[in-house]
Amino acid sequence: MPAQSSASRASPPASFIDEVIAATPGSDPHLELCVQCGTCGGSCPSGPDMEHTPRQLFAMIEAGMKEDVLRSNTPWYCVSCYYCTVRCPQDVHITDIMYTLKRMAIKEGMYRESTAADAPDFSETFIDFVEHYGRSFELGLATLYHLKHHPLGAVKMAGFGLGMLRRGRMDLTPNKIEGIDQLKTILAKAKELSNDNSNGKGGGR
C-alpha cells in the first residue's frame, strides 16, 4: 500500500491507520512512514514480553487488523523509555502511538481480552485521585488497585506500604489543591472537546 499523504486523511471511511493517526494529537506521528526495519523491537526493554513487537504491530495497523491490534498487550507493556522513538530512522513517534492504542483499546473495550487487562485500571485509579484532588495519592492508589486486582498480593504490598510510611515517604490523606473547582471545569471542557473529536465533530488532529 502506498504511503498516504496527510491531505487524504479527512475523507471517510477512514482506514485503521488513519484512525490511529487522527487520534494522536500534537506533532505528526509519521506512522505511515514506517519501513519495517525493526529497530523499535530491538531497542525495546520489554520487547520479549510483548505479544507483538512494535514493528509487527505497525504492520498489523497498516493491514487494518484493528481487533488484533487493540487486543495485543504490546501498548500496555510499553514502559515509555523512548528508545524506539529516538532510534527510529523514519521519526515515527512510537511511544505516542502506543499511548493512542491504549486509549483506543479502552474506548473499544478490547483490553479486557488482552493479557494486560489490569493495566487500564491502574491508570484509571491514578487519574481518579488526580481529578478529585489535583494531586496524586499513592496510598489510595495502591490500596484500591491492589485489593481489586491482586488481593493476595496486597498483603505483600502492605509490607511495602509500611516501609514507605515508616520512612515518612507516604501521606495518609490526599493533598487537595485550592483551585480544584477550576481544574474540574477545565477537565470537563477538555473531555467534552475530546468526545466531539472522536465523534467526528472536531477537526481530528
Partner 1 sequence: MKYGYYPGCTLERNAIAYHQSAMAVAKKLDIEFTEVDDWNCCGATEYISIDALPAYALIARNLALASQQKLNGNGNQLVAPCSACYLNLQKTDHYMADSPELAQQVNTALEAGGLNYDPGSVRVRHLLDILTQDVGYDAVAEKVTKPLYNLRIAPYYGCMIVRPSFDDTYDNPEYPTCLDDLMRNLGATVVDYPVKAHCCGGHMTQISETVALDLIRRLLKNAADYQADMIVTLCPMCQLNLGGYQEAVNKHFGTDYKIPILYFTQLMGLAFGIKPKELGFGKEFVSANPALEKIGAEPPPKPKKQRRSKEALPMPNSTEGM
Chain residues in the site for partner 1 (CB under 8 A): 23-27, 45-46, 49, 76-77, 79-83, 85-86, 93, 95, 99-100, 102-103, 106, 116, 118-120, 122-124, 126-127, 130, 134-136, 138, 145, 159-160, 162-164, 166-171, 175, 177-179, 182-183, 185-191, 193-194, 197, 202-203, 205
C-alpha cell at 137: 495519592
With respect to partner 1, which residue has the nearer C-beta, 63 or 204? Answer: 204
Please provide the DSSP assignment of 136-194 as one string. --HHHHHHHHHHHH-TTHHHHHHHHHHHHHHTT-S-SS----TTHHHHHHHHHHHHHHH
The whole-angstrom separation of Cα 47 and Cα 8 is: 33
CB of 50 to partner 1, least distance (A): 10
Give, in order, the Cα–Cα distances in Å from 16 to each of 13, 32, 105, 159, 184. 9, 11, 13, 45, 33
CB of 185 to partner 1, least distance (A): 5
With respect to partner 1, which residue has the nearer C-beta, 12 or 203? Answer: 203
CB of 118 to partner 1, least distance (A): 6
